[in-house]
Amino acid sequence: MSEVYNSRARADFSRARLKSFIHQVMSRLSGQRTTLLSYDEIKEKLHIGGPIYRGVKTIKLEQIAGSLNRYHEFDSAFLPKEDQLSNRWQSVDRAFYQDVHLPPVVLYKVGEVYFVVDGHHRVSVAREQGQVFIEAEIRECHTRVNITADVKTEDLEILGSKVNFLERTKLDELLPDANIFLTIPDGFERMLAHIAVHKYFMGLDLKRDITDEEAVVHWYEIVYLPIIQVIRESNILKEFPGKSEGDLYLWTLDHQRYIAEEEGQPLQPPEQAARTFIEEKE
């Protein structure tokens, strides 16, 4: 019977390696990522904290999209990319056929994504065998932004900028319901500039020093939110697939500045600037 299990495990590994090869070829042709997320890269870009022990839980395998230190050995579907993984992979696969209970895998949780700390082969075999769930020991890492298993490399750059924006403005602490989404790479840096200018003119208007926190809240409520409300009322976002309300906010202010500079008109109030932008796009 053991030889039957060995034969099945060898066949399973060969099939998994072939799938991995096909994934790599398709990746070259399509330009889509087939690599696992690197925990170290996520940690560096998103300034995550922790980890905090959360106990043993049953999670969906599809939520596991990264690795602590072996992201180069498995692809994004957790298929083995190297023949040298054969012995350990087949050993775990044989345990599956023999119904041997293996210990929970160890994962870090960041947002809605899990990174494997220990148990890469168990995750790989479980996915290849069609399992949907796996038992895992979870350690959760704090992050100011949420990420999901389908996050892309270009998304990480923008999310990293968002983390920097939140660390400098504390918007998520001052207004917990405020959540700005952008797809424009330098968008959050531009918003920081908007807040700095807003703070300057607040000081002139009120004839006193303005705190950073006061400027952030006032900018959000007096400049950002009125534009967003006009965008929502107009339903114009449907004309810009893949873009966000925050993107249209930036385009509105770009348009406002263009009108002021090129046509010699005074700067419009935020709501009017948004309506002018929308009227010209319709």
Give per-residue pLDDT as tens, 18-56: 999 998 888 777 767 678 999 999 999 999 988 999 999
Lowest mean pLDDT among 174-178, 223-227, 270-274: 270-274
pLDDT value of position 253: 86
Mean pLDDT across 148-176 = 92
User: pLDDT band for position 136 (50/70/90)?
Assistant: very high
Mean pLDDT computed over every residue of the chain: 89
Residues forming CATH 3.90.1530.10 domain(s) in the chain = 2-142
Instruction: Decide if pLDDT at 170 tops 80.
Output: yes
pLDDT value of position 271: 63
Determine the Cα–Cα distance for residues 258 and 261; give it in Å rounded to an integer.
5
Give per-residue pLDDT as tens, 72-119: 999 989 999 999 999 999 999 999 999 999 999 999 999 999 999 999
Cα angle: 217, vertex 218, 219; to 5 degrees: 90
Give per-residue pLDDT as tens, 239-263: 889 999 999 999 888 877 766 666 6
Q: What are the residue ranges of helices labelled H in the chain?
A: 2-30, 39-46, 86-97, 120-128, 153-169, 171-174, 187-206, 212-219, 225-234, 245-262, 270-281
Mean pLDDT across 200-208 = 93
CATH 3.40.50.2000 corresponds to the domain 2-142? no
Instruction: Decide if pLDDT at 176 tops 60.
Output: yes
Instruction: Decide if pLDDT at 1 tops 60.
Output: no
Determine the Cα–Cα distance for residues 256 and 73; give it in Å rounded to an integer.
50
Describe the strand order of the beta sheet including 133-142 as a list of residue ranges. Answer: 37-38, 64-67, 113-118, 105-110, 133-142, 49-60
Antiparallel, parallel or unpaired: β 37-38 and 64-67: parallel
1: exposed, middle or buried (Cβ count in 10 Å: 0-12, 13-18, 19+)? exposed
Instruction: Decide if pLDDT at 169 tops 70.
Output: yes
Instruction: Decide if pLDDT at 181 tops 80.
Output: yes
pLDDT value of position 135: 97
Mean pLDDT across 253-275 = 66
